[in-house]
Structure 1
Amino acid sequence: MNKSKELSLFTFKQLKKTFFFAYDPLKTIWKENPYSIVLFLIMIFAIILRTYKLEFLPGGVSKNELEFIGRFKEVGDLKKIWLGKNFNNGLYIFANSLIYRAFGLKVYYFRAFSALVGIGTVYLTYLFTKEWFNKQSAYIAGLLLAFSSWHITISRNIDPVVLQPFFILLIFYFASHAFRSKKLSFVFLSGIFLGLSVYVSSAFLMLPLLLLVAAIYFYFKNKKFLNVYIKEISVVSNVFLLVALPFFYNLFERSYAFVSEYSFIGVRDSLYNFGDIIWSFFGKGVTNNFHNLGNTPLLDPFTGVIFLIGIAYALLNWGSRKNFFLLAWIFIMSTPAIFSANFFDKIYVILPAIYILTAVTLDYLLSEWFTTFPLNKKARMSMVLLVSFFFLLTFSFNFKKYFVAWAGSKEVKNLYSENTSLIK
């Protein structure tokens, strides 16, 4: 046998066996920890996409960011503790004031804080989805959010909205553990995080309503619900009110500042606003280069299509507790954005729900396909290749949207062209 024939017999399968499975420790790691490796890869994607060239991109500072940096300095220098009308962003401002105290007025460190929160949000999305649904949905949700150019953008900005998806996931994750384990430590943490959420955004004032609607729904599903969890509900409510008390005092003293964030319009115009928000996910929306590339859809095509299917499926199966909760999360928590002058400042509380519903829907579609073709290897492999191809396209689309199109946009460069010498 000549040399060329020997090479032709050295197939891809043999290459894989030679370079991967021939190494016993690597083979053992993969066999014993396949799920951990998948999660590790998802988090690597999340870290790279939120920290890659962070010192150069976005680059410069926007007017909004400059104003926030000024507030970080005021609080860090102990010149202004009570934040007036910006009290609902207080948690973000106080956190960054500590960064200022530690590292000075360095734009990079303020962006790094947002990136860290963004990375944490991807991980919390995985944890919460696994807790409520299954591992497959959790991996899909985590991966889609890790790829999301929409979430990448806010994870690299100096903007308090980055805390919204992080905090709502934190609350729901600990609340889930609290009500399943009935451990007092988890119950207290749930109440504390719920109370702190109002210092993230006034949009979280709708969260108690969401939890109330969910509790009523669960009560009608199971009449014993309130009797079983009355103690936990009471503790969470009292801790929430105690932690949120300074915010409500500030709200009472400066109600005009709170009202100025919203435009209380008629029912018809409110429905139009809600339509604009929904349409911004799939089509041309409101132009906002600080959070997105112009007026392009907030969701990539693959995520958008599956999410749309997911809404239809959840509406048809709203009798499911989990489907009902996801729908209630999306629609009730959208209310502040509907009445807000700039819906981008309030919409991020529903961002995790969008990706979770998308992931659950995709997992359901795949399960149905594999159940329909249990023995047809070609059909099963074709679906695996097709979904892998779409994930690859999704990664490419989001990467190019942010790191090529958004980064190269003249409008974006003008937006981040404020004089950095003012930071002192």
Structure 2
Amino acid sequence: MRLNVAIEKSNIEQERTNPINDDHLNTPRAHPLQTKNKQPPISDRRITFVLIIIVVSALTFGALIIWREAWLQSSLGKPPLASLIAFGIAVLALLIGHRYCADTMINDFNPEDLLVPALSLSDITRKFLGQPWRGLALATALGLSIYMLWQLPGMSPEVSYAGVFLAWGLAITLCMLAFAPEQLRAQLTSPIQWTTNRWMILTLACITLLALGLRTWNIDTIPFTVSGDEAAQGLESLRVLTGELRNPFATGWFAVPTMSFFFNSLSLRIFGTDIVGLRLPWALVGTATLLVTFLLVKQLTDWRLGLITSVLLTTYHYHIHFSRLGSNTIADPLLMTLALFFLYRALACGKLIHWVFVGIVCGLTLYSYIGARLVLVVILIILSYQLIRDPRGLWARHRYGLLIALMGFLVIGAPMIQYALRFPELFNERVTEVGILQSGWLSREVEIRGQSVPEILLDQFLRSALAFNFYPDRKAWYDLQQPLLDPFFGALFILGLGYSTIRALGPNADQRLFPFVAWWWGGTILGGMLTESPPSSQRLFSLSLPVCFFIALGVWRLACMARFALPRIMPNLIPIIAVVIFSIVSVEMYFRDYTPRRIHGGPYAEIATELAPILNELTPTHTMYFFGAPKMYSDFSVFSYLAPGVNWVDITKPLVGPVTLDLIPNDRAAVFIFLPHRIAELQSVREAFPGGEIYEIVRPYDGKVIVTLYII
């Protein structure tokens, strides 16, 4: 045993000191403790076969009950207890099956040993003394950070922030250079082992192209509606282009950090201030998430499981939809995936640059959507988990790395941390609004419902935890009107979640499953249970990635058991079939079923999106008289973004009696726009201004008239 551990430490030390071999696309090396496969006894195969039958039967039974209750009858009260019991039986059978087939070929992803040699202070000192420019770079980075903190409080919104922004970017760059590997050039230019990895690389390239296509094809019309939130963020980005918004280290619309508006303004400048310019950068962010997902899952488990997870996420309608929106919500899973990847690279290899990246990614979360702050919580939970598992070892081996990560976090996050300390109400405004504790929602619900706090919290938890299985989305961000997974893949998700949770927290814990467990449970509680109106798809969106991982793991484990019980079957057949079915069902659901219904954004955003091109065409010659109050007004953000410069007149009060000619001053050409709830007033306008043209806009999906125009 000691010899094996010594061999492992030697291998890891060699990996740490030889950057040329530090290639994430290399085939995983065999674990030194891994035993050779032996022919299993017939009795074990029979037991495993029975367990497979139990797992499949229990999952099918539970899925059918969910399908009946949530899909056919839509009786969305308490989730059926029978389905939860069935899923529990399936998880238990899968855990028992793990004991019989842990050594089969399809399951040989033994985690890398985290016991890397400790990095001493003398090693770091020797590195900086031997290369004085490192110390100079680090000192300059810290000096620039102090300069920013000194300058920002005294700067007004009207002055240019270019100087402090450049100082911020330079500080980050110098911080990374100070801890860059000594053979960085060799590491960056080291060739990938094409011969042994060509199929994996080609497959990953195809997945990336597929993901890019699914997220950018007809991005200006899918989804058709530009939501009010998309348009509002687009307007903030336009303020950057016009010079009205100059401070990237503050919060703006709905307490969203302004840095994301600066990022989005780049695409508006390049591609134009239209729907494509608004949405395209976030589609690229969604595509990048798939690549990092592969690297993370490969780092934690196995490259095959990484490919499966990436394909599932590529074709998952939930991730496709949010990748096609002009909103920074899509950045949440990318930031979490990057942070976890660098954290486990740092724990496995002990390289200082990885710890710097951990801090930098964590610092970036302060500049993104509020949901990205979950990254900080999950990282702290994982470090606490590692500390509990190895109280002395974690601090002894990684204390300097942890301090360097903290330094990187402070360098990149210093401006927003200062802003949060100066204006805590603005920084936490959104949390205060939607948090059930901060907003007083919980105490109000106790009085309204007449239920106790534990009863309400349980209901909140069930609605959040079962958003992928039983309860439909309650917000117009997606408003799928059904759970986020179909009943059968939802059952596989529960299987993988239950298996991972028990394996990560139980005896002989598989520590490499814990980050996904912490991610899912942390997001469910903080982004669902403790917020108003769960399940809300925009707050649970980052969970789309661990959900795909749990589905992949459930399929993987079933394939392992099948390979053990039936050695002659192809080991990869089950995952391939599952991935193909999931992809076809998910993509078809989004593009053929969901998209034509134009649910996203709500009916008023749909009306505004339909009207925008007509308004832009008629604006030079016509005045728009809008009959939308009290449900809709002309200052709606979608109008402001898609049809700027329109001369609006809101007719807020219903027309009573004959309409006088002074409704239109100066006898100018006019367009009267009627929403369905005020269509009765059209007749009065026609009588006052005869000879006009009536134009009706009809929703293609159901043939309903959603808005009527009378043009004179």
TM category, shorter:
0.7 to 0.9
- Which residue matches 1:9? none
1:311-390 alignment to 2 at 5 Å? Answer: 311-317=497-503, 318=505, 319-337=509-527, 338-341=529-532, 343-374=536-567, 376=568, 380-381=569-570, 387-390=575-578
Equivalent-residue separation in structure 1 for 2:482 and 2:577 (angstroms): 23
CA drift of 1:85 comes to 5.8
Q: What is the letter of the counterpart of residue 433 of structure 2? A: S
Q: Deviations over 1:293-343 (max 9, x none)?
A: 2x2111244432221101221233222212333222211233331222354
Q: In structure 1, which of residues 243, 249, 256 is the aligned counterpart of residue 418 of structure 2? A: 249
Change (3 A) 1:124 1:55: same
Equivalent-residue separation in structure 2 for 1:202 and 1:267 (angstroms): 26
Q: What is the letter of the counterpart of residue 400 of structure 1? A: E
Calculate the TM-score normalised by the size of structure 1.
Answer: 0.84
CA drift of 1:267 comes to 4.7
- Which residue matches 2:348? 180
The question of whether the paired residues in 1 share the 8 Å contact of 2:347 and 2:398 is answered with yes
CA drift of 1:367 comes to 1.8
CA drift of 1:89 comes to 4.0
Equivalent-residue separation in structure 2 for 1:400 and 1:145 (angstroms): 15
- Which residue matches 2:674? none
The structure whose Rg is larger is 2
Change (3 A) 1:203 1:407: closer
1:73-92 alignment to 2 at 5 Å? Answer: 73-80=238-245, 81=247, 82-84=250-252, 86-92=254-260
Q: Deviations over 1:216-260 (max 9, x none)?
A: 322232231111000111111232134223333333414262412
Q: Aligned with 1:349: secondary structure? A: helix
Change (3 A) 1:56 1:206: closer
Instruction: Work out whether 1:296 is the aligned partner of 2:506.
Output: no
Q: Aligned with 1:401: secondary structure? A: helix
Q: Higher mean Cα deviation, 167-176 or 129-138? A: 167-176
1:146-295 alignment to 2 at 5 Å? Answer: 146-222=314-390, 223-252=392-421, 253-255=423-425, 257-258=429-430, 259-264=432-437, 265=442, 266-293=453-480, 295=481
Q: In structure 1, which of residues 42, 47, 51 is the aligned counterpart of residue 212 of structure 2? A: 47
Q: What is the letter of the counterpart of residue 305 of structure 1? A: A
Change (3 A) 1:336 1:248: farther
The question of whether the paired residues in 2 share the 8 Å contact of 1:192 and 1:239 is answered with yes
Q: Deviating runs (4+, > 6 A) in structure 1?
A: 29-32
Calculate the TM-score normalised by the size of structure 2.
Answer: 0.51
Q: Higher mean Cα deviation, 87-96 or 103-112? A: 87-96
Equivalent-residue separation in structure 2 for 1:268 and 1:326 (angstroms): 28
Q: Aligned with 1:341: secondary structure? A: coil
Q: Aligned with 1:195: secondary structure? A: helix
CA drift of 1:281 comes to 0.3
Q: Deviations over 1:129-178 (max 9, x none)?
A: 01111011101100100110000000111122111111111111122223
1:106-117 alignment to 2 at 5 Å? Answer: 106-117=274-285
The question of whether the paired residues in 1 share the 8 Å contact of 2:241 and 2:265 is answered with yes
CA drift of 1:84 comes to 3.9
Q: Aligned with 2:467: secondary structure? A: helix
Change (3 A) 1:99 1:267: farther
Q: What is the letter of the counterpart of residue 367 of structure 1? A: C
More helix, by proportion: 1
Gapped regions of structure 2 (runs ≥ 5): 1-193, 443-452, 617-639, 645-712
Q: Aligned with 1:418: secondary structure? A: helix
CA drift of 1:86 comes to 4.1
CA drift of 1:386 comes to 5.2
Equivalent-residue separation in structure 1 for 2:298 and 2:524 (angstroms): 24
Equivalent-residue separation in structure 2 for 1:115 and 1:417 (angstroms): 24
After superposition, the CA RMSD in angstroms is 2.5
Q: Deviations over 1:341-385 (max 9, x none)?
A: 3543322233222212222232222122212222x2xxx14x755
Greater relative contact order (Cα 8 A, min sep 6): structure 1 or 2?
1
- Which residue matches 1:64? 229
Q: What is the letter of the counterpart of residue 71 of structure 1? A: E
The question of whether the paired residues in 1 share the 8 Å contact of 2:469 and 2:490 is answered with yes
Change (3 A) 1:315 1:187: closer
Q: Deviations over 1:66-106 (max 9, x none)?
A: 11111011122221224346454434222102222333312
- Which residue matches 1:408? 596
Query: How many matched pairs?
Result: 390
- Which residue matches 1:396? 584
Equivalent-residue separation in structure 2 for 1:84 and 1:289 (angstroms): 22
The question of whether the paired residues in 1 share the 8 Å contact of 2:308 and 2:552 is answered with yes
Gapped regions of structure 1 (runs ≥ 5): 1-28
Change (3 A) 1:410 1:40: closer
CA drift of 1:44 comes to 2.6
- Which residue matches 2:66? none
Q: Aligned with 1:297: secondary structure? A: coil
- Which residue matches 2:493? 307
Equivalent-residue separation in structure 2 for 1:402 and 1:289 (angstroms): 15
Q: Aligned with 1:280: secondary structure? A: coil
Q: Aligned with 1:286: secondary structure? A: coil
Equivalent-residue separation in structure 2 for 1:52 and 1:103 (angstroms): 15
Equivalent-residue separation in structure 2 for 1:208 and 1:48 (angstroms): 32
Q: What is the letter of the counterpart of residue 255 of structure 1? A: E
